[in-house]
Each structure stands twice: as structure tokens, then as C-alpha cells.
Amino acid sequence: MEIGVDSFIAAKAGDGRQASDKMREFLMRIEQADQVGLDVFGVGEHHRQEFLDSAPTLVLAAAAARTKRIRLTSAVTVLSAVDPVRAFQAFATLDLISEGRAEMVVGRGSFIEAFPLFGLDLEDYDLLFAENLDLLLKIRDNTHVHWKGERRAPLTGQGVFPRPMQAEMPIWLGVGGTPQSFARAGTLGLPLMIAIIGGQTHRFRPLVDLYREAGRRAGHAEERLKVGLHSFGYVAESSKQAADEFYPGYAESVSEIGKERGWSPPTRDSFEAQRGPLGAYLIGSPDEVAEKIARHSEALGGVSRVSFQMDMANLPHEKLMRSIELLGGRVAPVLRGTEAVAN
């Protein structure tokens, strides 16, 4: 099982910190993840004041120059709002810089600011994603592309350069809870990254089964049908410490987003329920979190990758660095069946 971290590069408005300082610290965290042996680090894409991830490939390229082995991915690329040619070129360039460590997780995204920002019609939300995904996969598989859609000029054999170092650059499909998205990923034979940010993880099993069955019906080999999980996560020396440190910033961030979406503010009781045995959150001591991930994997019929979203709680840099250290030294080894590192 691969263990990684996803980040939106949170930049809490009005806290007096310089954005350049936050970016410097963020790159240090990717270096830390590489040094402690984590497998993957993902950067999201948002176009909002509270995040610094509007140009994720630039950030990942900076990280590529500072790291040796960790895989670098989007989390997610908002494919409805980007030209697939430019997206592929950016990640192919990242793949060359990183010497074959680039990946993409593509999805619709959970915010809609990109549509008015880039002059797109929100009514084309689904059509744009379907067309752009089709074109992106065509580009990955063909240097010279023949393609025609409804919302973009056709390609009539033009070459798309550069080509990545990897023979087939991994493209994962990021999904929430829509059955059609799970079935689409299976039919296309794409690895699946499920964002589970609430509820009970085992309830996604029917959707995962749908994905795998769609993949088998389409003739894809079992090893292509990978399942990954993305959830809120944070590790500290004890369960209580992890919860006490994570909850205040988490509650503030979720409450602010909830004002836009009509959610009720979270309570400590609801947070603790999500930390419980069946809840989605991976927040606790190293042993507690490792055991919970193993249970989640069994409940879903096997998970290939787990990514922790830990910076939404606006925790201090030093605490995030320590959590990454614990992930690499005490959580990942348990899940890989190797000896944990004393730290």
C-alpha cells in the first residue's frame, strides 16, 4: 500500500504571514515526505484566497528539484476548466524534470470559481469534463492526435510535445460519490481516487464493486483497477493530542465552507464520530491510524493508496512536519509489513 499526503497549501487569510513563507514551508514538507519514505505527495487546484495552489504544476516542479524518489501528483486537476493539451504538456514537463515521477489525478473539483474565471459556462460542467478526459487520454496514448468534440477546436494530427519520460504517465480519476463516475473510471481502466471526507468509509463498497465490475466487463486487467482513498488525516504521538490539535482549525475551515454550501457547523461530537472505527477521518496515534487504514482497505476489498489531507486545519508547520515524520516512520511501515522506525 502506498501512503501519501495531499495538500491545498492552505493560506489562512489575515493571519499576518507572508505567502512566500507559507510556500517555502510547504516545499519543506514535501522534502520531509520524501526523506521519511512516503510514496506520493499531491497538490490540489483551487482559485480562492485561502489556498496557494492555483498553479499546482509549478509547485510540483519546484518540489521535483528538491526530492529524489517521491511521486508527485495533482489532487485534483480541475479538468473541466483546463485545456487538455496544456495540462498534458505541463505534466509531461514535470515528468521530465522529476525523471519519471509525475502523475495526474483528474476530476471536476468541488468548487466552481474556475468557471467564471476562465469564461466557461457552468451548464457545460459535465460535457466539458467528459470531452476533456477523452482528449487527455488520446493525447497520453498518441503523439499525433485526431480528435473532435463540441466545446474545443478539433485536432487533425497535430503533435503534442514534450512526451513524458514514463511510457504511460499515470492518470487517476478523482471521484466523490456519483455512481456514474465510478463506472466511467472502470470502463476506461483508470485507477480510482475516492475523496471520502465524511460518513462511513465501508458504505463506499458498492460503488467500488461497481468500478471493478465495469473494469472487468471492459476487459481491463485486475492490476489496472487500483483504488485510492483521500481523507482528512493527521497523526500525533497520542490519539487525544491528534484530535485536540486538529479539531479547532478543522472546525473553523469547515464552518467557513459550510456558509457557502448550507452545511451546519461541525461539533466536537460529530468530529469524534468521524474519528471512530467506522468514520472516514484518519486522525489519531500512529498505531490507531494504521489499524484504521487496514480496516478500511479490507472493507473496500483492497486499497492501493491512502492520501492524508492534513493542512485544512491550519496547523503550524512544525506540527505538520512531525506528523509527516510519524507517517513515514510508524504508519507506513506497519501497512507495508516492514519494521517501524523509532522516532
DSSP string, 259-298: HHHTPPPP-HHHHHHHHSSSBS-EEE-HHHHHHHHHHHHH
| Position 332, amino acid | A
User: Within 13 Å and on the Cβ side, how many CA atoms surround 147?
Assistant: 26
Superfamily (CATH H level) for 2-336 = Luciferase-like domain (3.20.20.30)
Which stretches does DSSP call E strand in the chain? 2-7, 40-43, 71-74, 77-78, 102-107, 144-147, 155-159, 171-175, 192-195, 227-235, 282-284, 305-309
Q: Of 82-86, 238-242, 308-312, which gets the smallest average pLDDT?
A: 308-312
According to the model, what pLDDT value does residue 299 have? 97
- Give φ, ψ of 134 to 5 degrees: -60, -45
The residues spanned by each domain of the chain are 2-336
CA distance 136 to 232: 29
User: 47 and 118 in contact (C-beta within 8 Å)?
Assistant: no
User: Within 13 Å and on the Cβ side, how many CA atoms surround 296?
Assistant: 32
Question: Which pLDDT tens digit goes with each residue over 144-174?
Answer: 999 999 999 999 999 999 999 999 999 999 9
- Asked if omega into 191 is within 30° of 0 (cis), the reply is no
Question: Which pLDDT tens digit goes with each residue over 287-305?
Answer: 999 999 999 999 999 999 9
Measured CA distances, 124 to 75, 106, 317 (Å): 22, 17, 39
- Burial tier of 277 (Cβ tally within 10 Å: 0-12, 13-18, 19+): exposed
Q: Of 6-20, 269-283, 286-300, which gets the smallest average pLDDT?
A: 6-20
pLDDT at 339 over 70: no
User: 339 and 333 in contact (C-beta within 8 Å)?
Assistant: yes
- Asked if omega into 331 is within 30° of 0 (cis), the reply is no
**Host H or E run for residue 223:** none
Which position has the grid cell 490507531?
Answer: 288
User: Within 13 Å and on the Cβ side, how many CA atoms surround 120?
Assistant: 22
